[in-house]
Amino acid sequence: MIRLGVLSFSDGRERVHKSLEPDIRQHESRIKASLENTGEVEITLAPEIIYSPELARQQARYLSALDLDGIILNMVVFAFPNYVLMATQQNSVPYLVLGPHDNRYPGLGGTLAAGGALTQVGILHERLWGDINDELTIKRILIFARAAATVQRLRGQVYGLIGGRSMGMITGAAPAEQWARLFGVDIDHTDQSEIIRIAKDVPSSEVLKARHWLESQVKEILIDDKQLTSEKLDYELSCAIALKEIVKQKQYDFIGLKCHFDLSEYFSVQCLGASFLNDPYDWDGVKGVIPVACEADSDGALTMQILHLASGQPSCLLDWRFFDVEKAVYTLPNCGAAPTWFARRSFDPAINLRHIRVVPAITKYAGGGAHIEFTFGAGPVTLARLSRSLSGYKMLITRGDLVEHRIQDVKGSNPQWPHAFLSHPLLPDALISKVEANHIHLVAGDYIAELEMICRFLGIEPMVI
């Protein structure tokens, strides 16, 4: 649940304030009722309406102690803008200056005066003048709420970098000091040998539990006694359990996992662990989503976490692999791991997993093991990717539609990997001049507006295609 506070402002003359107070309170109540009726937001009203400097400090500090995701500045009338500055300087949450439609009062002017003052002193905020009973106004406030919660909840999170840079991919490396400054995220390193060490001590009963669950849920487990033996499947499951334990012990919020080629070449691919950490379920039941970026793609992992926090859904990492001209789709596979949730976008694992095949790893990976093979279900998606240049961070943001094809019918596909087939108006000649990495990330639905706002709050450039 997203937690927002409301600070209401009034005229600085007490006698005038008292005449305005009933209507300001009425607007407060409407804001609270309308937003809480969505089921997405919990609203806390500051006890007093602000009409003096002392009240500005007191009421803002009251809300700052409540661990809120953002604060709405309720500007029903032409309230004194200096009180808004005093209040917003008490904490650093995202702000929305909200002026309601009420033709009895100059709330539009109050909204602009307050917003202009915030801009002059460098306090990031969003502005909205709208009717709280209008669906579009509610939608726009919810966009703010999701964006604010994403930015606020990133702060203090820990990213687990398990392994290091994979296959020389500079675009996946992470600048620790820049992350701390821009996003408030700490980067903690763990060696991949920890997976091997902990996997040795995983109880056989835990491995058996995971395997029985997998066998009972998926469409097929294809043992070829070469790349994937029964013993290798159990070993990969023990690695998945070990990875889950590392995340728990280290209190990681999202991770990047190198895999190639230390583990995939000499031990086993790690697709089962990556898939099911990304999922909202596994053999232990319902759980939280832990975004996992393969190949230790740190900027990819951070993009995935932002998408997950903004949407409340799993996100994923995919490769720009090929464009099939005849089908007019981009082939977006992953080298063996993706959240199984995307098979049918259901939070019931049985619905998704009946479309999943566990298959032998391709021979390119000498360590063997299991890949997860399926196609993403059809529907609209939002795609994004953080990248860096000499001018700093930016985020590529676009929307498209996933369409369903048989893997073997689309050029550029690999029959042993998970695939998304993307219909998008941007053709490859234009794409390659705009995309700055071989990986792309997506989430189901339309979150373009949320991502743009998140970028503004973080001070990075949104590049919307």
**Using an 8 Å Cβ cutoff, are 350 and 395 in contact?**
no
In a structure prediction context, what are the per-residue pLDDT tens digits for the chain, which is 465 residues long? Answer: 999 999 999 999 999 999 999 999 999 999 999 999 999 999 999 999 999 999 999 999 999 999 999 999 999 999 999 999 999 999 899 999 999 999 999 999 999 999 999 999 999 999 999 999 999 999 999 999 999 999 999 999 999 999 999 999 999 899 999 999 999 999 999 999 999 999 999 999 999 999 999 999 999 999 999 999 999 999 999 999 999 999 999 999 999 999 999 999 999 999 999 999 999 999 999 999 999 999 999 999 999 999 999 999 999 999 999 999 999 999 999 999 999 999 999 999 999 999 999 999 999 999 999 999 999 999 999 999 999 999 999 999 999 999 999 999 999 999 999 999 999 999 999 999 999 999 999 999 999 999 999 999 999 999 999
DSSP 102: -
CB atoms within 10 A of CB 194: 17
- The percent helix, strand, coil of the chain (3-state, each to 5) is 40, 25, 35
- Domains observed in the chain: 2-154 (3.40.50.10940), 158-464 (3.20.14.10)
Say what the pTM is. 0.97
DSSP SS3 for 388: strand
DSSP 296: T
Strand runs (DSSP E) across 310-369, as ranges?
316-319, 322-324, 329-333, 357-360
Alpha-carbon distances of 362 from 215, 260, 385, rounded to whole Å: 21, 13, 27
C-alpha to C-alpha distance for 74 and 123, rounded to whole angstroms = 17
C-alpha to C-alpha distance for 338 and 344, rounded to whole angstroms = 13
pLDDT number for residue 444:
98
C-alpha to C-alpha distance for 205 and 362, rounded to whole angstroms = 29
Alpha-carbon distances of 395 from 225, 263, 309, rounded to whole Å: 44, 31, 16
- The C-alpha torsion from 362 through 368 and 370 to 372, rounded to 10°, is -30
Rounded to whole angstroms, the maximal C-alpha distance in the chain is 85
**Using an 8 Å Cβ cutoff, are 379 and 345 in contact?**
yes
**Using an 8 Å Cβ cutoff, are 10 and 51 in contact?**
yes
